[in-house]
Amino acid sequence: MSRITLSRYLIEQTRNQETPADLRFLIEVVARACKAISHAVSKGALGGVLGNAGTDNVQGEAQKKLDVISNEILLEANEWGGHLAAMASEEMEDAYQIPGEFPKGKYLLLFDPLDGSSNIDVNVSVGTIFSVLRCPEGVTLPCEKAFLQPGVEQVAAGYAIYGPQTMLMLTLGHGVKGFTLDREVGSFVLTHDNVHVPETTQEFAINASNQRHWEEPVQRYVSEMLAGETGPLEKNYNMRWIASMVADVHRILTRGGIFMYPRDAREPEKPGKLRLMYEANPMSFIIEQAGGAATNGVQRIMELQPSSLHERVAVFLGSKEEVERATRYHREAQ
Ligand code: AHM
Ligand code: MG
């Protein structure tokens, strides 16, 4: 049987009137940028790309060289095609306007160019996360306000994972498809049709070194999981934490699990570490489209009204039963 490449999949989506042609082009361009990032990541020390860039991003975090390179690759690839009205990145303080010499389109692209970048220098999987929104009608110079739409408004979301294989996981709002990069040919090939998160699980992911800072519902939930089959949940759990959200989410998409980055007492003014617009919303869209669930402990993440571009949020996502349990414990504690 002939292989279904990302291009063919997208063209067929357009033919079936599921995906507008300009959205198809946008996804193709993002995928091409991800191939370039994958190439840069894979060079490692040979390409002189490891280590810090010597700059901080808007969140005050030290940028890695590959954070900066990946951001540049995404901006350059996407600015000239005429499909975007503006872009926003975890690595840039303000929205990026399309340069005047290029035509503008009707979509907004948001991305975390290289998620999990603390793992770059230790050769552990990292990735690119992206989210696509429509530019509000009549807005010609989209500033922050144009981007502040709840996750339910996303028209597409995906991530590329740069691991033993480079893969692109994509949702256009009707299920999740997984494509593996065939490096010799240079194409993403459909290898994972109808990706589905099992409803039940026995695996959780959380950075346990923050345990003393967690709020009561998270303490309760994790201690119940750790109690195993003689505890209230009556089953043994396994734990994994890669510190690379793409890699943790990818594992959950493959074999189930719950991922948690709760708010904690380290920085009480911040509701969690992960960013709503670049990480939590696109990952929630993917997880929900694969049959899982995603909340901030109390509400569905995709229904949250963002108040700023770089807003943070607590994240509980993955297998439905466990996300519902974690959410119930939070609601009971309110
Ligand atoms: P980044 O976007 O700066 O890489 O930060 C996000 C990452 C996630 O990929 C991961 O889940 C989390 O930070 C790990 O945080 P910690 O180092 O606190 O465990
Ligand atoms: Mg990130």
pLDDT digits (tens, 9 = 90+) for 118-161: 899 999 999 999 999 999 999 989 999 999 999 999 999 999 99
Distance 112 CA to ligand 2 centre (A): 5
Pocket test for ligand 1, best of 90, 261, 264 (most atoms within 8 A of CB): 261
Same-domain pairing of 247 and 322: yes
Cβ atoms < 10 Å from Cβ of 334: 7
Mean pLDDT, the chain, whole residue set: 95
Reported as a pLDDT band with limits 50, 70 and 90, residue 17 is: confident
Same-domain pairing of 46 and 185: yes
Ligand with an atom nearest the CA of residue 245: 1
CATH number of residue 216's parent domain? 3.40.190.80
Q: Which of 28-42, 50-64, 96-110, 298-312 bottoms out in mean pLDDT, i.e. has the lowest? A: 50-64
How much is the average pLDDT of 90-112? 96
Domain assignment present for residue 210? The answer is yes
Using a 6 Å cutoff on CB, does residue 243 contact ligand 1?
A: yes
Reported as a pLDDT band with limits 50, 70 and 90, residue 1 is: low
Torsion angles phi and psi, residue 160, rounded to 5: -110, 135
Q: Which of 160, 192, 224 is the last residue of a domain?
A: 192
pLDDT digits (tens, 9 = 90+) for 187-244: 999 999 989 999 999 999 999 999 999 999 999 999 999 999 999 999 999 999 999 9
Same-domain pairing of 142 and 273: no
Same-domain pairing of 264 and 155: no
In ligand 1, which atom is closest to the CA atom of 210? Answer: 18
Distance 114 CA to ligand 2 centre (A): 7
pLDDT at position 270 over 90? no
**Cα separation of the two ends of the chain:** 55
Domain assignment present for residue 1? The answer is no
Same-domain pairing of 221 and 174: no
Residues with CB under 5 A from ligand 2 (ion): 112, 115
pTM: 0.97
Using a 6 Å cutoff on CB, does residue 322 contact ligand 1?
A: no
pLDDT at position 267 over 70? yes
Query: What is the domain extent for residue 289?
Result: 203-332
Same-domain pairing of 182 and 214: no
Same-domain pairing of 239 and 328: yes
pLDDT at position 57 over 90? no
Nearest CA to ligand 1 atom 6: 116
Number of independent structural domains in the chain: 2
Same-domain pairing of 25 and 114: yes
238-241 CB contacts, 8 Å cutoff, 24+ apart: 238/202, 238/203, 238/204, 239/203, 239/204, 239/205, 239/206, 239/208, 240/203, 240/204, 240/205, 241/205, 241/206, 241/207, 241/208
Q: Which of 54-63, 233-242, 265-274, 310-319 bottoms out in mean pLDDT, i.e. has the lowest? A: 54-63
| Predicted local confidence at residue 61, as pLDDT | 80
Q: How far apart are CA 20 and CA 13, in angstroms?
A: 8
How much is the average pLDDT of 161-185? 97
Same-domain pairing of 208 and 184: no
Nearest CA to ligand 1 atom 4: 116
How much is the average pLDDT of 26-45? 96
Burial call 241-273: b when 16+ CB within 10 Å, e when fewer: ebebbbbbbbbbbeebbbbbbbbbeeeeeebbb
